[in-house]
Structure formats: structure tokens, C-alpha cells
Amino acid sequence: MKISIGSDHAGLRLKRFLIDKFKDRGLEFIDVGTHTEESCDYPDFASAAAGKVRDGAADKGIVICGSGIGVSIAANKIKGIRAALCFNEYMAEMSRRHNDANVLALGARVIGDDLAAAIVDRWISTGFEGGRHQKRLDKISALE
């Protein structure tokens, strides 16, 4: 599975942690930046990561900033993206099962490393249920 991943300066440490944590699990990461701790703008990296998903270069995406709010808003502006801001494993599971979220947003200043890893693990291992949920996704797509 290919995952595009991007963060601003606030999410850089967590991004690096997650890449290192999951690199031996058969995941290929496309790191769209940032690569320094210098202050930068989260929309640049959220849109780059989400764009890789939209264009088919990545299967899923992960975006990270301090709270996760900014990157989730920015990623959701990209057509075809369903970014879900998750703070626990249940939210991650439901975002996949019911919403077929293709981008996961995380807040590096809100959750710790172990919880972030558990959220990512649940998110990448959960599939979409389809069925009654598909018509809801179709309605969301129609809004675009």
C-alpha cells in the first residue's frame, strides 16, 4: 500500500515517527514534506498529500499538523478526498467502515506517539463496508 504523508512543522516529528514505525509493515510512504522544523503553511502539505491520493499515485494519505484541524479542512478541499480527523481508534475504524475516508488527519500536539500509531494501524487495516453507506458517499460526492 502506498501512503502519501505530509505535515507542517508542528507535525514533522510525528510524521517521521510514523514513517519509521510502519516502514517494515509493507507500506510505501510518499513524503511530500515538510522536511524541516522551520515554520511553514499546513495547506501546502495537506493539499500535496491529498493530491497524490486524488491522482492515484497513493492509495491513502495521512496529514498532520498541531491540532489536525487545519490539515483536515485543507485536504477536504481537494475533489474526491474524504479526510477524517481522528483522535482515537474507534473514530479511525468508523471513518473507514462507514465513510471510506481516504485521508487520515492527525493532531501532533493532541495525541501521543503510541496512540497515533494505534490510530494509523486501525485505519489502514479497516475496509469500507459499502451497502447503505455508499449512497451517503454518493451524496457527499454530489456536493463537489
Domain residue ranges of the chain, discontinuous segments joined by +: 2-143
pLDDT tens figures, 59-92: 999 999 999 999 999 999 999 999 999 999 999 9
Q: Which residues are catalytic?
A: 65, 98
Find where cell 500535496 sits: 48
To 10 degrees, what angle do helices 12-22 and 113-125 make?
50
C-alpha distance from residue 124 to each of 17, 27, 35, 95, 128 (Å):
16, 10, 24, 11, 11
- The 10s digit of each residue's pLDDT in 13-38 is 999 999 999 988 989 999 999 999 99
Give the predicted TM-score (pTM) of the model. 0.98
Assign domain 2-143 to a CATH class. alpha beta
